[in-house]
Structure 1
Amino acid sequence: MVLGRRRLLIGFAGAGGLALAGCGQEPAPPKPATIRFDPPPGTLDVDPRSHGTVTVTDGTLRSVEWIDETGRSLPGAPAPDHRTWTSAEPLGYGHTYTAKAVAHGEAGDVTATTTCTTVRPRQLIDVSLRSANLVELAENDTYGVGFVLVARFDEPVDRAAVERHLKVTTQPAVTGAWYWLDDQNAHWRPEHYHAPGTRITIEAELFGRALGEGRYGLRDQRVSVMIGPAHVAIADDDTKQIEVFDNGNLVRTMPTSMGKGGTTVVGGRYLSFWTRPGIYTVLDRNNPVIMDSATYGLPTNAGGYRTSIDHAVRISHDGIFVHALAASMWAQGNTNVSHGCLNLSPADAAWFYDFVIPGDVVEVRNTGGEPLDIWQNGDWSIPWSEWLRGGTPA
């Protein structure tokens, strides 16, 4: 009897096992791969700075073609897991793209296509990054402590739009500001002269940026320059001496003769013979240079000149130089006889010529005439409170 009952229990267990096996679920169907494009299909006026991307869910990429309107393939590469693809360059201006991607998933291969168009500017604007001497900056150039950054745009721009994409950083850090002469010219400087050894990096990230009235930036730029020793020359009309300082130490005192003063009108043009008071910086040097007063409106038959001058250091855009003039040595240190330049002896002029670099400071004090204007190279003559207004009238 015991054995029979046991067999009966085993029989029920076997029957139950068969019943459970019969209730199992069918396997889920294979998932198809899905493909997503960015920019999304049909997008217009795509940001030129953006990159094309393809992303696959539930699968991996087999191939991607991203072709512009000329038939050129946009270069790009998949990620190591082959689930994404990214173009190697931005989409750029004025393109119509057609993209095709093939992905493989559990259900086999799937194919997807897309089209998009990028912004087509009315005009492309470029900017020239210069120092005050209007020469393009080059990587690791060295300038004096009076260095001023000049951004010159080839067409008028929206000032606020541009400033968002002009970045100036300094090491050590210092606060600076932009001052706009007009809608094409912006200057940047800090409140005080730069510290010797400062590195200044300028980044103009303008490519793909709207600059107003359908204009966009042509390209991005980045350049770094260095600040050299603190060379400051102080020309004082009360003493008629120029004191030259190197990192705060007086290294030379030079007698000078400055502008004789007075004004005149020649051919309807107003001319001043003062050496205007203010803070100049060295723009460039020439040895020799031909000085021709006719270039600023004073012909030789009206008391002007045209002559070759040695060791000439230009400090203004309207023709003020620190230069050699042996003929005025009798006046240097006691009488002003020039048309506006600062005359030196040949020996002093040669020394000064060799000592200075662009961006070094020349402060002119106690002379007559109107104060130095910014267009003449008078950036540092503008009070900081006024500079912070950015060139916008009060």
Structure 2
Amino acid sequence: MGFERRLSLLAATIAATPLALAACTADQRSGAGPAGVRAAAPELALTPADRARDVPISAEVGTTVKGGRVTQVRLTDDKGAQVGAEPREDGSAWVPVAPLQPRRTYTAEVTATGDSGKTTTRRTTFTTTAASTKPEITSNLYFESNQTYGTAMPVTVSFDPPIPKEARADVQRRLFVKTNPPQPGAWSWVSDGSQAYYRAPDFWRPGTTISVRAALEGLPIGKERMGDADRSATSKIGRQVSLEIDNASKQMSVLRDGKLLRRIPVSLGKPSTPTSSGKMVIMAKHQYATFDTRGEPDGGYVVDVEDAQRLTAGGEFIHGAPWSEGDQGSTNVSHGCTNVSAAAADWLMNVTQVGDLVTVRGTEVPLTEGNGWTAWNVSWEEFVRGSALPVPAGLRPAPTQAPHPGAVAGGSPAPAPSAGGR
């Protein structure tokens, strides 16, 4: 069941580490306290350092304030054009809305205002590095714009080659997710560093808008590699749908908003090629697909199928299988896929969404970490342990178990199918 996982994501969440401090040139202070006593001006430090050279194009304007808050930031290039930037949630830096250009000079002017109204303004001018010749780490963002996803849809970024453990915090800081209405979540890494997932403790609420940015272009990753691209996407969360597949009964239960819509007989993987048990997410939907397993240990066939929905990177699908309809509901005969009747498969395609949760129980093998989007296959407590950055205090309390897949949670295109099982 060969499937090349090429992943790479983006979204630094709530806790970002402040950039290193450096003194800057211009220092303008104003204001006076009551009764002629001069009020203390805010202390303000910026990065990059003034006159710094060879600054990465992924640079941010780091701001540290004592005795006040940042009230104005202006970033301009060497032609006087203003460069857009947005603040991090913790206020530690302002992030340009697009990567900076190589071998260009930029000036940041930042003003901080104290409680008394007194202000401090500082400037720093820096020059970016030449275009990098280092090899890039290829990233993919599995979240596209203008889509409607299911309530279990994790934001997924994949990396090839995987991100080493010591570099994951730097990468995670450049992965940004915003939700409207707000529903905070956290990032978590697959243990080998090939994927990072973002989700909330519970499923997304239907109607939520999610905006993602993986701002990795020009980001130094370790000593030898660079980030490849800056990707963004905004989409919405649709209705709450989940599928529960029970090997003991050979039945699939289809639920919407926690209510049973239909039961469908299934045939799962035979003992030599079992279906994985665990919590999966529909990764892609195909009206037609070709499974070609020639050259694989348990393969050697080519078959065309209709109404196929991918569940794992390794090639497990739900799909129409008219040849096994006599076995569905009683016997497992597939190569790992979930076989349903042609009519049921067609009906399912009109009910499900990419991002819907699919839970399989009672088969011979567990779902492997990272085999598909496995963000929901662990408890919240275990999920947040995979973050490379501290998890905000409000997200640390962990539920005793993952949410029931049929619960109403107040809840991208995947790579094209390569191999699959019948």
Pairwise TM-score range, normalised by the shorter structure: 0.5 to 0.7
Change (3 A) 1:236 1:205: same
Q: How does 1:58-207 map to 2 (within 5 A)?
A: 74-76=78-80, 92-95=101-104, 117-120=127-130, 121=132, 123=134, 125=136, 128-131=139-142, 137-153=143-159, 157=163, 158-170=167-179, 171-206=181-216
2 CA distance for matches of 1:93 and 1:282? 40
2 CA distance for matches of 1:205 and 1:363? 33
Structure 1 match to 2:251:
241
2 CA distance for matches of 1:239 and 1:125? 48
**Contact persistence 1:372–1:381 (CA under 8 A):** no
User: Which residue identity lines up with residue 379 of structure 1 in the other structure?
Assistant: A
CA shift, 1:219, in A, is: 5.7
Structure 2 match to 1:223:
233
Residues 66-102 of structure 1, C-alpha deviations (whole Å, 9 max, x = no match) = 9xxxxxx942169xxxxxxxxxx987333589xxxxx
Residues 280-324 of structure 1, C-alpha deviations (whole Å, 9 max, x = no match) = 111222232222332542344xxxx32222222221111111111
**Contact persistence 1:122–1:215 (CA under 8 A):** no
User: Which residue identity lines up with residue 323 of structure 1 in the other structure?
Assistant: H
CA shift, 1:197, in A, is: 1.5
**Contact persistence 2:137–2:225 (CA under 8 A):** no
Structure 1 match to 2:298:
298
**Contact persistence 1:321–1:341 (CA under 8 A):** yes
**Contact persistence 1:161–1:212 (CA under 8 A):** no
- The number of equivalent residue pairs is 292
Q: Give ranges in structure 2 of 5+ residues lacking alignment.
A: 1-24, 28-45, 62-75, 83-97, 107-124, 389-422
CA shift, 1:143, in A, is: 1.1
> Given the two structures, how large is their TM-score scaled by the length of structure 2?
0.59
Q: Give ranges in structure 1 of 5+ residues lacking alignment.
A: 1-34, 52-65, 67-72, 79-88, 98-114, 132-136, 263-272
Change (3 A) 1:209 1:293: closer
Change (3 A) 1:36 1:139: same
User: How much identity, in percent, do the aligned residues show?
Assistant: 31
Structure 1 match to 2:309:
313
Structure 2 match to 1:251:
261
Structure 1 match to 2:109:
none
User: Which residue identity lines up with residue 345 of structure 1 in the other structure?
Assistant: S
Structure 1 match to 2:364:
368
2 CA distance for matches of 1:312 and 1:90? 38
CA shift, 1:223, in A, is: 2.4
The alignment partner of 1:76 has SS state of coil
2 CA distance for matches of 1:331 and 1:90? 56
2 CA distance for matches of 1:369 and 1:187? 23
Change (3 A) 1:214 1:320: closer
Q: Which moved more, 1:351-360 or 1:204-213?
A: 204-213
2 CA distance for matches of 1:312 and 1:127? 28
CA shift, 1:209, in A, is: 4.9
The alignment partner of 1:286 has SS state of strand
User: Which residue identity lines up with residue 369 of structure 1 in the other structure?
Assistant: V
Residues 252-288 of structure 1, C-alpha deviations (whole Å, 9 max, x = no match) = 11111111213xxxxxxxxxx1111101111222232
Cα RMSD between the aligned structures?
Answer: 3.6
Greater RCO, CA 8 A, separation 6+:
2
Structure 2 match to 1:279:
279
CA shift, 1:221, in A, is: 4.1
CA shift, 1:148, in A, is: 1.6
Change (3 A) 1:343 1:161: same
